[in-house]
Amino acid sequence: MTAPTLIWFRRDLRLSDNAALTAACEGEGPVIPVHIRDSLVDGLGAAPKFRLELGIEALAESLEDKGSRLILRSGDALEALRALIRETGATRLCWSRAYDPDSIARDTRIKAALEEDGVEVVSQPGHLLFEPWTVQTKEGGFYKVFTPYWRAVRGRDVGPALSAPDRIPAPETWPDSDRLADWHLSAAMDRGADIVRAHALPSEQAAQARLGNFVARRIQDYAELRDFPAADATSDLSENLSLGEISPRQCWHAGQRAMEEGKAGAETFLKELAWREFAYHLLYHAPSLPSENWREGWNDFPWKDDERLAEIRAWKEARTGVPIVDAAMRELYVTGRMHNRSRMIVASYLTKHLLVHWRVGLKWFEDTLIDWDPANNALGWQWVAGSGPDASPYFRIFNPATQREKFDPDKTYLNRWLPMGERPSQTALAFYEAVPRHWKRSAEEDYPQAPVVDLKEGRARALAAYEDSTS
Ligand X SMILES: Cc1cc2nc3c(=O)[nH]c(=O)nc-3n(C[C@H](O)[C@H](O)[C@H](O)COP(=O)(O)OP(=O)(O)OC[C@H]3O[C@@H](n4cnc5c(N)ncnc54)[C@H](O)[C@@H]3O)c2cc1C
User: What residues are labeled active site?
Assistant: 272, 275, 303, 340, 358, 381
Site membership for ligand X, residue 129 (CB under 6 A): no
CA distances, 324 to each of 178, 329, 459 (Å): 44, 9, 16
In the complex, the smallest distance separating the C-beta of residue 276 from ligand X, rounded to whole angstroms, is 4
- d(C-alpha 95, C-alpha 111), whole Å: 11
Site membership for ligand X, residue 377 (CB under 6 A): yes
**Residue 429: enclosing H or E segment and its boundaries?**
helix 426-434
HEC-encoded secondary structure of 17-51: CCHHHHHHHHCCCCEEEEEEECHHHHCCCHHHHHH
The one among 68, 186, 203, 234 contacting ligand X by CB under 6 A: 234
In the complex, the smallest distance separating the C-beta of residue 178 from ligand X, rounded to whole angstroms, is 28
> How far, in whole angstroms, is CA 213 from its chain's centroid?
21
The one among 195, 273, 332, 370 contacting ligand X by CB under 6 A: 273
The amino acid sitting at 207 is A
- d(C-alpha 252, C-alpha 425), whole Å: 36
Site membership for ligand X, residue 373 (CB under 6 A): yes
Span of 56-64, 99-107, 184-192, 229-237 interacting with ligand X by CB under 6 A: 229-237
The one among 96, 238, 250, 320 contacting ligand X by CB under 6 A: 238
Site membership for ligand X, residue 276 (CB under 6 A): yes
In the complex, the smallest distance separating the C-beta of residue 468 from ligand X, rounded to whole angstroms, is 25
Size of the residue set binding ligand X (CB under 6 A): 27
Compute the residue count for the chain.
Answer: 471
Site membership for ligand X, residue 371 (CB under 6 A): yes
CA distances, 222 to each of 147, 234, 236, 255 (Å): 20, 6, 12, 11
- d(C-alpha 66, C-alpha 23), whole Å: 16
Name the CA radius of gyration of the chain, rounded: 23
Q: Decide whether 123 or 340 has the Cβ nearer to ligand X.
A: 340
Collapse the DSSP code of 120 into the 3-class scheme (helix H, G, I; strand E, B; otherwise coil) and give the result: strand
Residues 6+ apart with CB under 8 A from 395: 463, 466
Site membership for ligand X, residue 272 (CB under 6 A): yes
In the complex, the smallest distance separating the C-beta of residue 354 from ligand X, rounded to whole angstroms, is 14
Site membership for ligand X, residue 236 (CB under 6 A): yes
The one among 344, 350, 356, 462 contacting ligand X by CB under 6 A: 344
Site membership for ligand X, residue 237 (CB under 6 A): yes
Site membership for ligand X, residue 279 (CB under 6 A): yes
Q: Decide whether 53 or 373 has the Cβ nearer to ligand X.
A: 373
* Residue 118 region by backbone torsions, left for phi larger than 0, else alpha for psi between -120 and 50, else beta: left
Site membership for ligand X, residue 270 (CB under 6 A): no
Site membership for ligand X, residue 380 (CB under 6 A): yes
Decide if 209 contacts 19 (C-beta within 8 A): no
Best CA proximity match to 185, nearest among 332, 35, 51: 51
Q: Decide whether 275 or 439 has the Cβ nearer to ligand X.
A: 275
Query: By beta-carbon distance, which residue lies closest to ligand X?
Result: 380
In the complex, the smallest distance separating the C-beta of residue 236 from ligand X, rounded to whole angstroms, is 4
The amino acid sitting at 67 is G
Decide if 242 contacts 372 (C-beta within 8 A): yes
Span of 190-198, 313-321, 328-336, 370-378 interacting with ligand X by CB under 6 A: 370-378
- Residues of the shown chain interacting with ligand X in the complex, contacts defined by CB under 6 A: 226, 234-238, 241-242, 272-273, 275-276, 279, 340, 343-344, 347, 365, 369, 371-373, 376-377, 380-381, 384
